[in-house]
Structure 1
């Protein structure tokens, strides 16, 4: 993902033909800051697996974690604190930097989610001293694996997930229906993934309940930190005129990171030489930094209720995530209102921020031509106007792909050449494949997807193995 490969669309970093939100907003006079996960620059791996592990273990220093001209401070951010690589030990993260300077030691009570949010609070207090507006991007690492949380947060959820997959999933579905988030007529609850194993017969139920408790604790800690950020905005009298947008980049992950074992971005020892367990037998309970574990596909399926599948797939469970917008002085719709009519995408943030800030989206930047944005501003929705958003959307990720036109969506897994077809207006959870009934729709969407893929650098694919 972050390797520079031999195809234009697979360079592994934000190329010079693009601009970041921070770069555009700086042109409109904004102060800019970022905390958290970067993970959009080429990763400088070491020559041997042994040296790579020594680096990951904080036992040897090999310098910069990526080319410095790809760091956040080279892409529009005045301030940055966080991890350049993606995966981290939450108690002692690899690739941690302040600006461009590596943070070589952390306090004994360090926890990364707290540091990300508390640094954001410090940035807000600093930015509030100036008359210039500010933009702050906070990229949480939680609840990405490895499952690591503070004991006091885990304790809150020790009993919660002992009810098992089905009970938790049914209760989430019930609450979504009761609160009006979903219409059960259009959003039926599909069968649970691999429901042949009942919770009562699960030989690993103690481990599995603990894993989800740690996952919940990680989210709880993040939520506490977001509360401190809001408190800081309130204390500096910035809250009412600050647009806050909260969203997730994808559905919950089904990965079994334990099976990956140590290497690349996963250490095998702590800084002081204690071994880290990759326990495939589920005998070591997750939570501290001495184990690398993740929730796995069954809990990911539950976490993505009511949808099917998960991160890396193009079904709704992988790509359909909620977004919350808060702006007391700017949003005119009723608080708590749910907008189901507008089809949105993360690319909509750029034109939204351009419109609100008065910035201009450039055609060139630092002497390079810039790709035009294909996003649509969300400002009309904020102001109470009707907006349907995108009439068509497409994606591709490691072979998984979809094409959406209106309510029709074709989708395929990464290892499947054949499309499935769903009508999302009637079946948001993709339970009834209509491909055989409407082959002409499949053909049309297949043609649109291929046109998009060939004009958006999905093709050519890299020649070397990924």
Structure 2
């Protein structure tokens, strides 16, 4: 009897080891300022074959949302609670203890994906742009990541860039350190170190969780001349035509409903044909540099996938690719085109408002804003061993949000989200696991999705979306019939509107959101645009 008991225990032990080894590896890739329409598989003309292939052999989310801005999105992704709850209701300024939602750093009443996944036996690593409180002493290395190579806030691509600073496991290292590749480009550097950290995980026979936070394609846009040259001259057609072409491709792909009308271009944007030849050439070059940065971002994803395949771990790795906000219209129609050689390491290029219109196709608005253009992101999920082959290339239309990533990772890794951590009470998860959607099952979201940024606000509950800029009255849209937000039903659906307003106000108070004292109405004149649309 004792012999059989020992055999049984050994069998159970072996099964437990086998079960533990079946935990998938996880990579979350976050792009920066990438618009909804900037990838080939989301309507772009920019070649992105590697991301397109992940989409073809995985699932594309058509309704994936971010928070409309970089810092809040990162805070939300890392913690699984809304950015205000994590202490980053706006950006990095600390408004003091009397404003807990606006401390400019991750607080201790939230836990990070690394702190949670560590408890489930994962090797956790982070590379790229941090931007959730470095200047306040909050680093990846003291928020759970076992390995990290991070930039405090981004703002560079090359080692001689004006803002180039990198920290290895919490310690700043010289940009020409022998620990770094020579003449590195940040997009490649983050991937290179991600694979180095993965090698450590494999060596320790642990599943890994890598958070790979690119600073591409955020300004100041910089890329190799040979890459820029591939695109120069291709954008002389102008932003109106490019936007129309992307819209038509999105319909052809099946990404969007053909009944959704393309909103009129922002009336604040200069008509392309009114520009001089010199202005057209300058804007063409700005967009060519942007395209080159995205092209290299895609190449780095290809390098990552090739590295995973070489190590024999690709099939058992979940890759989730998203962006932190919509396309960037800063600082307005003129954009920026500064430097002796725009696109090099000493230059500063911003695509500006005209090209941001195309980046956010087919939606209204851009980064900062809670209309669809500001909060909609590509969302690609790859997992060869976990997504049925019959789902390859499919679109998933259920709404998903950056707040869902923590819950998804907890579900995938068999982790337990804590109620207390290191002596602090931890706020409950706000998100919902997206894992059921991998196989086409309902997500079963219990609560609406909420937004507030700089006074711009929204709530989505099922198909209904209530939204307003800081300067606007509430509007109500049926996102199934009118996701491009042209047919306001606030007056026609008073009961639904009243219910959503009440839910929003309750959430606003609960997360500690406060009034914002500036407006960015110059970004988008909605009243004028909608009059132009015939509403």
> How does 1:28-427 map onto structure 2 within 5 Å?
28-41=120-133, 43=135, 66-67=136-137, 70-88=138-156, 90-91=158-159, 92=161, 93-106=163-176, 109-185=183-259, 187-194=260-267, 197-203=270-276, 204-256=279-331, 286-332=342-388, 333-340=390-397, 342-387=398-443, 389=445, 392-414=448-470, 416-427=471-482
How far is 1:214 from its partner? Answer: 0.6
Distance 2:517 2:440 in 1: 48
Q: For residues 182 and 168 of structure 1, do their structure 2 counterparts lie closer, same or farther at Cα, with a shift above 3 Å needed?
A: same
Distance 1:151 1:134 in 2: 36
The Cα offsets for residues 394-434 of structure 1, whole Å up to 9 and x where unpaired, read as 110111111222222121113x1511221111101001222
How far is 1:213 from its partner? Answer: 0.7
The Cα offsets for residues 134-179 of structure 1, whole Å up to 9 and x where unpaired, read as 1001000000011111111111111221111122111111111111
Distance 1:141 1:369 in 2: 32
Q: Secondary structure at the match of 2:312?
A: coil
Q: TM-score, normalised by structure 1?
A: 0.84
The Cα offsets for residues 361-420 of structure 1, whole Å up to 9 and x where unpaired, read as 000000000000011111211233233546511110111111222222121113x15112
Q: For residues 161 and 463 of structure 1, do their structure 2 counterparts lie closer, same or farther at Cα, with a shift above 3 Å needed?
A: closer
Distance 1:84 1:283 in 2: 24
Distance 1:295 1:360 in 2: 43
Q: For residues 196 and 252 of structure 1, do their structure 2 counterparts lie closer, same or farther at Cα, with a shift above 3 Å needed?
A: closer
Task: Check the 8 A contact 1:258/1:293 in 2, yes or no.
Answer: no
The Cα offsets for residues 252-290 of structure 1, whole Å up to 9 and x where unpaired, read as 111129999xxxxxxxxxxxxxxxxx76xx796631133
Q: For residues 286 and 300 of structure 1, do their structure 2 counterparts lie closer, same or farther at Cα, with a shift above 3 Å needed?
A: same
Q: Secondary structure at the match of 1:128?
A: helix
Task: Check the 8 A contact 2:269/2:354 in 1, yes or no.
Answer: no
- Unmatched 5+ stretches in structure 2: 1-90, 520-535
* 2:81 counterpart residue number: none
* 2:9 counterpart residue number: none
Q: For residues 441 and 95 of structure 1, do their structure 2 counterparts lie closer, same or farther at Cα, with a shift above 3 Å needed?
A: same
* 1:59 counterpart residue number: none
Distance 1:202 1:2 in 2: 38
Q: TM-score, normalised by structure 2?
A: 0.74
The Cα offsets for residues 330-365 of structure 1, whole Å up to 9 and x where unpaired, read as 11251111011x111111111211122111100000
Task: Check the 8 A contact 2:235/2:287 in 1, yes or no.
Answer: yes
Task: Check the 8 A contact 2:269/2:353 in 1, yes or no.
Answer: no
Number of matched residues? 418
Task: Check the 8 A contact 1:258/1:294 in 2, yes or no.
Answer: no
**Higher-strand-fraction structure:** 2
Distance 1:82 1:36 in 2: 5
* 2:493 counterpart residue number: 438
Q: For residues 423 and 102 of structure 1, do their structure 2 counterparts lie closer, same or farther at Cα, with a shift above 3 Å needed?
A: same
Task: Check the 8 A contact 2:157/2:345 in 1, yes or no.
Answer: yes
Task: Check the 8 A contact 1:412/1:418 in 2, yes or no.
Answer: yes
* 1:265 counterpart residue number: none
How far is 1:124 from its partner? Answer: 2.1
Q: Relative contact order (alpha carbons < 8 A, sep ≥ 6): 1 or 2 greater? A: 2
The Cα RMSD (Å) is 2.4
Q: Secondary structure at the match of 2:391?
A: coil
Q: Secondary structure at the match of 2:288?
A: helix
How far is 1:108 from its partner? Answer: 6.7
Task: Check the 8 A contact 2:130/2:140 in 1, yes or no.
Answer: yes
How far is 1:5 from its partner? Answer: 1.1
**Higher-helix-fraction structure:** 2
Runs (4+) of structure 1 exceeding 4 A deviation are: 257-260, 282-285, 461-465
Q: Secondary structure at the match of 1:80?
A: strand
* 1:52 counterpart residue number: none
Distance 2:517 2:245 in 1: 47
Distance 2:158 2:469 in 1: 32
Q: Secondary structure at the match of 2:281?
A: helix
* 2:94 counterpart residue number: 4
Distance 2:272 2:472 in 1: 34
* 2:41 counterpart residue number: none
